Amino acid sequence: MNAEVQRVVISLPAKAEYVDIVRLNLYGIASKMGFSYEDIEDMKVAVSEACNNSVLYAYDKQDGIVEVAFELFEDMLSITVRDEGESFERTASNGSVTLHDKELLDVEIGGLGFYLMEALMDEVSIENAAGRGTKVVMSKRLMRSEEKV
C-alpha cells in the first residue's frame, strides 16, 4: 500500500456561486476513495458551512480568495478551508456570530455552523489570527465494510 499523502488544492473567489465547485470536487475525491453516499453527503454539508463562513464574513464584501485543500490518506480524508480575510468583529453586521476571530469555546448561538461541522465530521479544528485569516480543518475516517476487507 502507498502511504504517501495525495493533495488536491483549489483556490476560488470568495463568492457563493463557487461553493458548488468545492462540493463537486469533494464528491469526486471522496467517491474515488470509497466513502459511502451518506458520508459524502455529510462532508458536503460540512465543507459548505466552512466555505459559506468565508464567503459571508471573511472579506466584508471585498474580493477575496478561499483555498480548499483535500488531503487523501489511506483511511482518511482531511479538508482544509482557508481564507485570508480579517474579521475583528465578534458578530457580523447582521448580528450572527462568525467563526472568524473567535476561539472555539467562544462560538455562541448563531455560530451553529461549527456545531454542524463537528457533528458531521470526525475531527474539526479552527485556527485564526488577526491579519492571517481563518483556517478550518475537518477530517473524516474511511470506514470500510467487512466484505471489502
Domain boundaries, the chain: 6-148
Question: For 10-16, what is the mean pLDDT?
Answer: 95
Q: What pLDDT digit, counting tens, does each position of 80-98 carry?
A: 999 998 654 434 444 444 5
- Report pLDDT for 4: 83
Q: Is the pTM of this model over 0.85?
A: no
Look-up: residue for cell 458548488?
Answer: 20
pLDDT over 70 at 122, yes or no: yes
Q: What pLDDT digit, counting tens, does each position of 27-52 carry?
A: 999 999 999 999 999 999 999 999 99
Give me the DSSP letters along 100-117.
TT--GGG--TT-HHHHHH
> 136: closest CA among 43, 27, 38, 36?
43
**Protein fold of 6-148:** Heat Shock Protein 90 (3.30.565)
